[in-house]
Amino acid sequence: MTCKERILSNDYVDVIVNFVLPPEYERPVDYCYHAITEDMGIMYINRDIVPQARMTQATYSFIPKCYGLVDIERAGGRRDSDIRMSQTASLNTLSMSESGILSVQGPPLNLTGKRVTIGFIDTGIRYQEPVFRDYAGRSRIRAIWDQTIQTGTPPEGFEYGSEYTNDRINEALQSDNPTDIVPSTDANGHGSIMASLAAGSVIENGLFTGAAPDCDIVVVKLKEAKQYIREYYKIPPGVPCYCEPDILQAIQYLQKFVRTLYSPLVICLGVGTSTGDHTGAGTLGTYMDFLGRKNSRVFVVAGGNEGNAAHHFHGDITNSQPYQDVQLRVGENEAGFIMDLWGDAPYYYSVTIRSPGGETISWNNPRSSIPQEFTFVFEKTRIIIDFLLVEQTSGAELIRFAFTDPTAGIWSIRVNSAGNTIGGSFDIWLPITQFLSSDTYFLEPNPQTTITEPGYVHGVVTVANYQMTNKSIAVSSGRGYARDNYIVPDVAAPGVNVSTPFGVHSGSSLSAAITAGGCAQLLEWAVVEENDILVNSVNIKNYLVRGAGRENFLEYPNREWGFGRLDIAGVFEFMAGLGATF
4-61, pLDDT tens digit by residue?
Answer: 999 999 999 998 888 776 665 665 678 888 999 888 899 998 888 765 544 455 567 7
pLDDT over 60 (residue 404): yes
How many whole angstroms separate alpha carbon 402 and alpha carbon 382?
Answer: 8
Q: What is the pLDDT of residue 167?
A: 96
Work out whether strand 397-404 and strand 336-343 pair parallel, antiparallel, or are unpaired: antiparallel
Q: What is the pLDDT of residue 23?
A: 61
Give the DSSP letter of residue 89. -
- The residue type of 178 is P
Annotate 29-69 with DSSP letters as a single string. SSEEEEEEETTEEEEEEETTTS-GGGGGGS-GGGSPPEEEE
Q: What is the mean pLDDT of residues 348-365?
A: 89
pLDDT over 80 (residue 573): yes
Q: What is the pLDDT of residue 118?
A: 98
pTM: predicted TM-score of the whole model, two decimal places: 0.93
Alpha-carbon distances of 506 from 86, 442, 466, rounded to whole Å: 15, 25, 9
Q: What is the mean pLDDT of residues 427-438?
A: 92
Per the CB < 8 A criterion, the answer to whether 298 and 266 are in contact is yes
How do the domains of the chain map onto residue ranges? Answer: 3-69, 73-79+92-307+452-577, 312-442
Phi-psi region of 147 (alpha: psi -120 to 50; beta: other; left: phi over 0): alpha
Q: What is the mean pLDDT of residues 108-127?
A: 96
Q: What is the mean pLDDT of residues 485-509?
A: 93
Half-sphere exposure of 100 (CA within 13 A, CB side): 22
Share of the chain above pLDDT 90, in %: 70
pLDDT over 90 (residue 204): no
The kind and range of the H/E element at 353 are strand 348-354
pLDDT over 50 (residue 476): yes
More confident: 91 or 60: 60
pLDDT band at 74 (very low <50, low <70, confident <90, very high): low
Q: What is the pLDDT of residue 81?
A: 42
Q: What is the pLDDT of residue 253?
A: 96
pLDDT mean across residues, the chain: 89
What would the pLDDT profile of 213-269 be if each residue is shown by its tens digit? 999 999 999 999 999 999 999 999 999 999 999 999 999 999 998 876 678 999 999
pLDDT over 90 (residue 103): yes
How many whole angstroms separate alpha carbon 163 and alpha carbon 154?
Answer: 5
pLDDT band at 92 (very low <50, low <70, confident <90, very high): low
Q: What is the mean pLDDT of residues 497-511?
A: 92
Residues 6+ apart with CB under 8 A from 304: 70, 272, 432, 450, 451, 452, 455, 477, 478, 508
Least confident stretch, 301-315, 374-388, 559-573 = 374-388
pLDDT band at 90 (very low <50, low <70, confident <90, very high): very low
pLDDT over 70 (residue 578): no
Per the CB < 8 A criterion, the answer to whether 245 and 42 are in contact is yes
Q: What is the pLDDT of residue 260?
A: 67
Give the DSSP letter of residue 133. B
Of the candidates 146, 185, 141, the residue with the CA atom closest to the CA atom of residue 165: 141
Share of the chain above pLDDT 70, in %: 90
Q: What is the mean pLDDT of residues 108-116?
A: 96
How many whole angstroms separate alpha carbon 429 and alpha carbon 426?
Answer: 10
Alpha-carbon distances of 16 from 37, 250, 321, rounded to whole Å: 12, 15, 40
Residues 6+ apart with CB under 8 A from 296: 263, 264, 265, 523, 527, 533, 535, 536
The 3-state secondary structure of 489-543, one letter per residue: CCEEEECCCEEECCEEEECHHHHHHHHHHHHHHHHHHHHHCCCCCCCCHHHHHHH
Cα Rg of the chain, angstroms:
24
pLDDT over 70 (residue 97): yes
Per the CB < 8 A criterion, the answer to whether 269 and 446 are in contact is no
Could you give the 3-state DSSP secondary structure of residue 5? helix
Question: b/e string for 420-448 if b means 16 or more Cβ within 10 A?
Answer: eebebebbbbbbbbbbbbeebbbeebbbb
Q: What is the pLDDT of residue 395?
A: 75
Half-sphere exposure of 246 (CA within 13 A, CB side): 29
Q: What is the mean pLDDT of residues 179-196?
A: 95
Per the CB < 8 A criterion, the answer to whether 31 and 3 are in contact is no
What would the pLDDT profile of 281-338 be if each residue is shown by its tens digit? 888 999 999 999 999 999 999 999 999 999 999 999 888 888 899 999 999 989 999 9
Least confident stretch, 25-29, 303-307, 390-394, 420-424 = 25-29
How many whole angstroms separate alpha carbon 14 and alpha carbon 58?
Answer: 12
More confident: 491 or 421: 491
Alpha helices in 315-370 (DSSP H): none
Could you give the 3-state DSSP secondary structure of residue 70? coil
Question: b/e string for 271-287 if b means 16 or more Cβ within 10 A?
Answer: bbbbbbbbbbbbbbbbb
Per the CB < 8 A criterion, the answer to whether 69 and 270 are in contact is yes
Q: What is the pLDDT of residue 408?
A: 94
Burial (CB count <10 Å: 0-12, 13-18, 19+), residue 370: exposed
State the sign of the Cα–Cα–Cα–Cα dihedral 76, 80, 84, 88.
positive
Q: What is the pLDDT of residue 56?
A: 54
Per the CB < 8 A criterion, the answer to whether 128 and 203 are in contact is no
Domain 73-79+92-307+452-577, what fold? Rossmann fold (3.40.50)
How many whole angstroms separate alpha carbon 582 and alpha carbon 576?
Answer: 8
Supply the CATH classification number for the domain 312-442. Answer: 2.60.120.1290
How many whole angstroms separate alpha carbon 521 and alpha carbon 490?
Answer: 18
Residues 6+ apart with CB under 8 A from 359: 376, 377, 378, 379
Could you give the 3-state DSSP secondary structure of residue 350? strand
Q: How many residues does the chain have?
A: 582
